[in-house]
Amino acid sequence: MSQKPKSAQLPTCPSCEEPLESGDLFCGACGYDLSVVPPRPDDRPTLVMNGLGPAVPDTRAPDTPVA
Question: d(Cα 30, Cα 34) in Å, to the nearest integer?
Answer: 11
Question: d(Cα 38, Cα 32) in Å, to the nearest integer?
Answer: 13
More confident of the two residues 18 and 43: 18
Q: What is the mean pLDDT of residues 19-28?
A: 92
Question: d(Cα 27, Cα 16) in Å, to the nearest integer?
Answer: 9
Structural domain of 14: 10-37
User: Is residue 39 very low, low, confident or very high in pLDDT (cuts 50, 70, 90)?
Assistant: low
**Residue 28 domain-assigned?**
yes
Question: For the chain, how many structural domains are there in total?
Answer: 1
User: For position 51, what pLDDT does the model report?
Assistant: 61
**Residue 67 domain-assigned?**
no
